């Protein structure tokens, strides 16, 4: 092959795979679409056309793929965009306030820690979350999420820590969640608008050590003599 043809071939292959700067890069587009979905996109002003998305604040790449997205304490406001789940190499997604720092690495379908607590995320919990099969920690607490809990949460069979507290969630606890999430040790759905009784399947969660289902009236704590409490 002539040298010129080799270069044409390299350029063609590169256009498909190593062009991280161009608009056409799907991961750059996913990040841009996440930014544009925010009500306060200005917070991410550094995410602009002057540089590759791998240099954007909070973004870490390895071999041109986004592996970590860490935007704690920015108080991002807006829906929980499904485009966040189109970053296949992502291992850490930390959009929390800076109260906790995740430490593990993996791939998006191998994402183990997802911390989005204490932002102003609105809208529903995306059913796409059910794709993150390796997730061990899911913290969406302290946002303004509405709607019912998607039954797909029951597909997160590795989950040990689930905190959905302090949102505006309604409906009841999906039975799939209580039958499938056998590894769960901590479940917090308190301070939502969940209705109805707790499904009897809750008895399946044998490893549970922490369970928060409130609200119960705060005044209960004033009953200093109380030694038995039956809520059946």
Q: List contacts with ligand NAG (CB under 6 A).
A: 45-46, 48, 50-51, 73, 98, 144, 166-168, 182-183, 191, 207
Provide the minimum distance between the beta carbon of 184 and ligand NAG in the complex, in angstroms, as a whole number. 8
Do residues 149 and 169 touch, judged by C-beta distance below 8 A? yes
Report which secondary-structure segment, H or E, holds 229: none
Residue 153 CA to residue 159 CA, distance in Å, equals 9
Nearer Cβ to ligand NAG (209/225): 209
Q: How far is CA 107 from the centre of its chain?
A: 14
* Radius of gyration of the chain from its Cα atoms, rounded to whole angstroms: 21
Q: How far is the CB of 118 from ligand NAG (least distance, A)?
A: 10
Which of residues 13 and 168 has its CB atom nearest to ligand NAG in the complex?
168
Q: Does residue 107 contact residue 131 with C-beta atoms inside 8 Å?
A: no
Q: Which one-letter DSSP state was computed for residue 5?
A: H
For ligand NAG, the closer of residues 85 and 117 by Cβ is: 117
CB of residue 158 to ligand NAG, shortest distance in Å: 8
Q: Kindly tell me which of 85 and 164 has the beta carbon lying closer to ligand NAG.
A: 164
CA-to-CA distance for 25 and 51, rounded, in angstroms?
Answer: 13
Q: How far is the CB of 16 from ligand NAG (least distance, A)?
A: 26
């Amino acid at each position: 092959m002539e040298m010129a043809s080799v270069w044409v071939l390299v350029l063609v292959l590169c256009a498909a795979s190593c062009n991280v700067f161009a608009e056409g890069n799907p991961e750059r587009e996913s990040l841009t679409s996440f930014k544009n979905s925010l009500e306060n996109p200005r917070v991410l002003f550094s995410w602009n056309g002057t540089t590759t998305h791998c240099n954007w604040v909070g973004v870490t790449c390895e071999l041109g793929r986004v592996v970590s997205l860490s935007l704690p304490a920015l108080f991002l406001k807006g829906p929980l965009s499904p485009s966040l789940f189109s970053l296949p190499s992502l291992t850490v997604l930390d959009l929390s306030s800076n109260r906790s720092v995740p430490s593990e690495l993996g791939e998006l379908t191998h994402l183990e820690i997802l911390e989005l607590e204490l932002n102003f995320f609105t809208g529903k919990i995306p059913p796409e979350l059910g794709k993150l099969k390796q997730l061990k920690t899911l913290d969406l607490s302290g946002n303004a999420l509405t709607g019912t809990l998607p039954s797909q949460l029951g597909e997160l069979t590795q989950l040990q820590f689930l905190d959905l507290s302090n949102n505006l969630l309604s409906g009841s606890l999906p039975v799939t969640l209580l039958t499938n999430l056998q590894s769960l040790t901590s479940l917090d759905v308190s301070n939502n608008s969940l209705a109805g009784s707790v499904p009897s399947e809750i008895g399946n969660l044998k490893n549970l050590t922490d369970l928060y289902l409130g609200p119960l009236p705060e005044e209960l704590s004033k009953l200093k003599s109380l030694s038995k409490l039956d809520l059946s």
